[in-house]
Amino acid sequence: MANTLQAPTVAAVLDRMYAETQDQMSRLRERVGDFDRPMSAQERADAMSEFYIPVTPEAGRLLYALVRATRPATVVEFGMSFGISAVHLASAVRDNGAGRVVTTELSAPKIAAARRTFAETGLDGVITILEGDALTTLDNLDGPVEFVLLDGWKDLYLPVLELLEPRLATGALIVADNASAADMRPYLDRVRNPDNGYVSFNFSVRESDSMEISCRTGD
């Protein structure tokens, strides 16, 4: 039985975007030192406006499977970038037959490119883009939220989680990419402490990195 990820248009778009990602890697490595200085959220978004930094294809399929299995009415993504992960999430929502993806992004060029991608894949009807600082745009989000993907700046994972916590349904899944990053420690300390209302485990998604998958068990 076919799924939306296998639809010719969606598969072709993802293949093209992942190929462009590979083409960017050498340029990104050359510029890695540019991001060491203190920067505002907007400055960081502008500095990364041409780079994908996506989930891997394997992680994308994992996200698709998790959304299909849990059937969330509302999926929230922090850090849309060019929309690769949102395509995986929205494909699962489409195949579930109900639900929505609410994704956030600060970079205007990435928002414009993602809108074109979502229209090209036919997934724009289930995706809402919140433009601007996620700590502001998500503050007005209607709950409950049953699935969260954190895939933006790692030092903002914990503030975003704290903002969403009052809206998290019991049983909600929170998937945090790049869990091996050095600045993930405050977030990991939060979700790995069962007193905070989570059951959490680490899942390897690439040779040198992982995702932290946490289930909201209650307050």
* Whole-prediction pTM: 0.89
Residue written as token pair 């209607």: 142
Nearest-10 Cα torsion for 28, 34, 38, 42: -60
Which pLDDT score, from 0 to 100, does residue 124 have? Answer: 96
Domain count across the chain: 1
What pLDDT score does 37 carry? 59
CA triplet 205, 153, 49: central angle to 5 degrees? Answer: 100
Give the Cα separation of 158 and 162 in Å (integer): 6
At residue 128, the pLDDT reads 97
At residue 205, the pLDDT reads 72
115-128 per-position pLDDT tens digit: 999 999 999 999 99
Angle value at C-alpha 29, between 28 and 33, nearest 5 degrees: 95
pLDDT given at position 4 = 97
Place of tokens 């294809």: 57
Q: What is the dihedral of CA 168, 171, 173, 179, to 10 degrees?
A: 100
C-alpha–C-alpha distance, residues 55 and 76, integer Å: 15
What pLDDT score does 20 carry? 82
Phi, psi of 199 (to 5 degrees): -115, 125
Domain that residue 199 falls in: 4-216
* DSSP letter for each residue of 14-75: HHHHHHHHHHHHHHHHHTGGGGSS---HHHHHHHTTT---PPPHHHHHHHHHHHHHH--SEE
Q: Which CATH number do you get for residue 79?
A: 3.40.50.150
| Mean pLDDT, contiguous 10-residue spans, the chain (219 residues) | 89 91 61 60 58 79 96 96 94 97 92 95 97 93 94 92 96 94 92 96 80 91
Q: What is the pLDDT of residue 54?
A: 74
